[in-house]
Amino acid sequence: MIALSLLGPMVLKARVSAAKPGYTINNYRAITIPTVDGSWTTADEWTDAEEKELDGSLAVYFRLKYRLLSGTSYQFILIDFLNDTTDDSGDGWMICIDAHHDGGGAPQPDDYRISLTGHCISGLHVYKGTGSDWVETTDFNWGTDLVIVNNINPSPHLSTPHWICEFKINATWCDLLNDYTIRVVAFDASGGGNQVWPNSTSNVPDD
């Protein structure tokens, strides 16, 4: 990790996958730098990113793209949850990252789990793998390493306001390599169960 940081800022390339076969999404360099505010801030804010639909009974889409800003590479993620219009304390978003794409049967030290429950910063928990399990970490700076904003707003998919979440993740903070893998979860406590890309377990990077 030290050696990599000495190489300078990470520049992500254009392909991200999930460990599960058949799940890939293009991670393009952003033309439009998104405003992380839980809304489609402008009509074209996310039209430069590929979109995938989460597995599950509800309609949830996500997009991602990256951009080098002042020498630091950031990964941006959008989750657009069309069915969730209810502000439940049990609602949640979760991103799991296998930063070095080295898999494993349990969370490894390059793996992160970012979880926001109840739509408030008080519900943010970030976990890092130990090789056998997750352990919560506070080793990040809110605002520079990680920003998450969710709000109820319309989107191009649906004019009825619904939950939209945007993430900004510092690729250097989590040592994100070009071919990292990701797992995206959205949960509406009002029903429907987990919506997931891909439908796999959060504790097994190989899955």
Q: Is 48 in the site for Ca ion (CB under 5 A)?
A: no
| Closest to Ca ion by CB, 88 or 179 | 88
Minimum distance, C-beta of residue 103 to Ca ion, in the bound complex (Å): 33
| Closest to Ca ion by CB, 37 or 55 | 37
Q: Is 91 in the site for Ca ion (CB under 5 A)?
A: yes
Q: Is 37 in the site for Ca ion (CB under 5 A)?
A: yes
Q: Is 153 in the site for Ca ion (CB under 5 A)?
A: no
Give the phi and the psi of residue 88 in degrees, each rounded to 5: -100, 140
Q: 55 CB contacts (<8 Å, ≥6 apart)?
A: 195, 196, 197, 198, 199
Closest alpha carbon to 52 in 196, 189, 171, 161: 196
| Closest to Ca ion by CB, 10 or 78 | 78
Instruction: Choose, by CB under 5 A, the member of 26, 41, 72, 178 that binds Ca ion.
Output: 41
Stretch that binds Ca ion, among 61-69, 82-90, 108-116, 195-203 (CB under 5 A): 82-90
| Closest to Ca ion by CB, 108 or 195 | 195
Minimum distance, C-beta of residue 144 to Ca ion, in the bound complex (Å): 18
| Closest to Ca ion by CB, 42 or 137 | 42
Place of tokens 């979860």: 185
Residues in the chain: 207
Give the phi and the psi of residue 174 in degrees, each rounded to 5: -100, 15
Closest alpha carbon to 79 in 185, 199, 192, 203: 185
Stretch that binds Ca ion, among 19-27, 29-37, 118-126, 152-160 (CB under 5 A): 29-37
Rg of the chain over Cα atoms, rounded to whole angstroms, equals 16
Instruction: Choose, by CB under 5 A, the member of 35, 72, 153, 194 that binds Ca ion.
Output: 35
Q: Is 188 in the site for Ca ion (CB under 5 A)?
A: yes
Residue 77, burial from CB neighbour count under 10 angstroms (0-12, 13-18, 19+) = buried
d(CA 178, CA 36): 23
Give the footprint of Ca ion on this chain (CB under 5 A).
34-35, 37, 41, 84, 86, 88, 91, 188, 190
